[in-house]
Structure 1
Amino acid sequence: MNLQQLEYLSILAKVQNYTQAAKILHVTQPTISYSITNLEKELGTELFEKHGRNIVLTKQGELFNKGASQALQILNNTTEELKREQNKDNVVKVASLRTLFYSWLPNTIKNFTTSFSPSEIQPKFKFTSSNGYSKAILNNLLEINCDIAFCSKVNNHPDIDYFPVVEQNLVLITPLDHPLADLESVDLVDTLKYKQITFSPTSGLSSELKQLFSLCGGMPESIYEVEEDEAVAGMVSAGFGIGVVPDMYNLKSLPLSIIPIRFPVWHRLIYMATLKGHYQTPASRAFINFVKETTHLKNNITQI
């Protein structure tokens, strides 16, 4: 007895005609007849009997077909479930800072997917939504809403592994008509007398900038606290104050003066964060390994 015989039995029981069953199954009529005859011999009973020009199930056939249909349904359901699980294994769930989407993350994913041969199934990426700042992204990771997070190191959580992937320059941004706007470079000590747009404590940059300004001997007056880099840039371009942000591509699209910081010398690190002991799908493991093998920070001090 095999699966093909059960499938033939199921179709034949429904249409009650060998010719119609053969058309549905795309086989010859003798093929079905031979298969059913062998099944009857194995079971030691007749499954069908003639009824005019058609055939119908015998009582024994009805009993066997009922059990066979249930078995086929269970097998089909299990097969579909297996396919769904296999599809999940091919998905990489990612949460990331928005600034990485300008260049680094899309290029990294492109290089990863093109490393597969044409005969291999390429992994699919699913991007988990978040508020866009590091603490929210890490909460997504801790709640297992994603497998991999790209963000700042907000804390030294014992369940999170951090791997540095991008080192980014910090710059001062000012409105075009600001007294500092024409400087070629700036010492942050000279910015302390001006009102600034700063990062709220929920942002990974907040603690970094506190360390940065501590080297300058003071803290700037914060007129507004926001969570994201883009928000700082927008507020500065509207003339509310000045700010220190990562050097991002989208800064050039705003009416801003972008000034390199001469002192203190500082770079912002962005990390790939993963949960210790968390099951990673084969696709996620492959991507994590690819990032680690291809990341060289000395070549990654860049605009993102």
Structure 2
Amino acid sequence: MNLKHLEYFKVLAQLEHYTLAAEKLSITQPTLTYAISELEKELGTYLFEKNGRNVRLTKYGKIFLKHVENALSELEKGEKKVKELVSPYSGTIDMAFIYTLGSFFIPNLVKNFLNKEKNKNIKFNFSQGTTKNIVKGLKEERFDLAFCSFVEGENDIDFIPILKQELVLIVPKFHSLSKFDSIDLKDTASFPFVYYNSESGIRPVIDNLFKEVNIIPKIACEVEEDSAVVGLVSINYGIAVVPKIWILDHFNIKIIPIKNPQYTRYIYLAYVKNKYISPSANLFKDFVINNCKLNS
């Protein structure tokens, strides 16, 4: 069914006069007559009947008009929505990030971006999760951009290093290890650990640290995100290796630098290679790269 023919039908139904409708549509009257005739052939019924010099809708025309108006209205809304989404300065960005970044890094990054006058009308949809789920969401096109750990073997994803995070040991305030100002990870072998689960991007990193000092950690429990790890450590459920992030300063714990093995974790801006992203998302991507990119 021809979309223009539906628009012509709607205008003719409103004005009930072929000449006036053709003038409003900036087409010839024969063009309008042909369009209505084609619609009627397709539907197998008359949509208009003569009413003096004018025309009026038939019973079937009235029924059809309601659906045409609804359909055209939805199409107009869709067109408006898409134009808003792809506008470089008023679009919406679907962005995901790992839990580690939610309390400080992402809010401040977005704030600095929106503080630029040209960006103030851009909106964000935020999602949090583990690296594994975030990368899955990128490939399923649920997210435009993401901030996560690097994942081996994901050849369709571009990973750009944008942030360094030191890894530290955290223990309860009055734990026997709290007297130390730095620690060798091998000296933690006898203590139970609150550990990140297998969905977390940092899990393989921490596993490798323990392999380097030839110990197998005693895992008291596994959780998904940072605040749960820190909260459980604060009640003496175990100790933990975590990124040195802002949230640590707000719990009753001791933060101890790890002197052996030393490791710096990288956080990456991730997006699908060779995939179209909206102008607003591209604008934010360039902002992040220009302001945060590290030498890998």
Shorter-normalised TM range: 0.7 to 0.9
Structure 2 gap ranges (5+): 1-8, 31-49
Counterpart amino acid of residue 155 in structure 1:
E
Q: Report the 3-state secondary structure (helix = DSSP H, G, I; strand = E; otherwise coil) of the residue aligned with 2:256.
A: strand
Runs of 4+ in structure 1 off by over 3 angstroms are 6-14, 35-40, 57-60, 72-79
Partner of 1:122: 121
Q: Deviations over 1:217-272 (max 9, x none)?
A: 22222222222222221221111211110112222221111111122221111111
In structure 2, how many angstroms separate the alpha carbons of the residues matched to 1:39 and 1:207?
A: 70
SS of equivalent residue, structure 2 residue 198: coil
The CA distance in 2 between the partners of 1:9 and 1:138, in whole Å, is: 51
Matched, 1:135 2:136: no
Q: Does 1:244 pair with 2:237?
A: no
> What residue in structure 1 maps to residue 105 of structure 2?
104
Residue of structure 1 in register with 2:35 after alignment? none
1:198 equivalent in alignment to 2:200: no
Alpha-carbon deviations, 1:39-82, whole Å to 9, x = none? 59x759xxxxxxxxxxxx84453169x8xx89x95765543321
| 1:83 match | 80
Mark the CA change 1:223 to 1:43 in structure 2 (over 3 Å): closer, same or farther: closer
SS in 1 for 2:179: coil
1:7 Cα deviation (Å)? 9.9
Larger radius of gyration: 1
Query: C-alpha distance in 2, partners of 1:61/1:13?
Result: 6
Corresponding residue for 1:189?
186
Please give the secondary structure, in 2, of the residue aligned with 1:102.
coil
Aligned match of 1:208: 205
- TM-score (normalised: structure 1): 0.72
Contact preservation (8 Å) 1:8, 1:36: no
What SS does structure 1 have at the residue aligned with 2:167? strand
Give the deviation of 1:87 after TM superposition.
2.2
Q: Distance in 1 between matches of 2:139 and 2:162?
A: 20
Who is 2:256 aligned against?
259
Is 1:148 the counterpart of 2:141 in the alignment? no
Q: Distance in 2 between matches of 1:39 and 1:137?
A: 54
CA RMSD of aligned residues (A): 3.3
Cα distance, 1:189–1:11 mapped onto 2, change above 3 Å = same
Q: Partners of 1:78 and 1:161 in 2: how far apart?
A: 35
Note closer, same or farther for the CA distance 1:83–1:191 as it changes in structure 2 (3 Å cut): same
Change (3 A) 1:255 1:38: closer
Q: CA separation in 2, counterparts of 1:165 and 1:275?
A: 17
Secondary structure of the equivalent of 1:157? Answer: coil
Cα distance change of structure 1 residues 147 and 58 upon mapping to structure 2, 3 Å threshold: same
Q: Deviations over 1:132-152 (max 9, x none)?
A: 222122222222211111111
Other-structure match for 1:177: 174
- 1:80 partner letter: K
Please give the per-residue CA displacement for 1:184-204, whole angstroms capped at 9, x wherever unaligned.
111112112222122222211
Counterpart secondary structure, 1:232: helix
Aligned to 1:61: 54
Q: CA deviation at 1:167?
A: 0.7
Change over 3 Å in CA distance of 1:121–1:13 after alignment to 2 = farther
Amino acid at match of 1:104: F
Q: Per the alignment, in what secondary structure is the counterpart of residue 180 of structure 1?
A: helix
Sequence identity percentage: 32
**TM-score, normalised by the number of residues in structure 2:** 0.74
SS at match of 2:111: helix
Superposed CA offset, 1:117-162 (max 9, x none):
3xx772211113x5x2221222222222111111112333121111
In the alignment of these two chains, the number of paired residues is 255
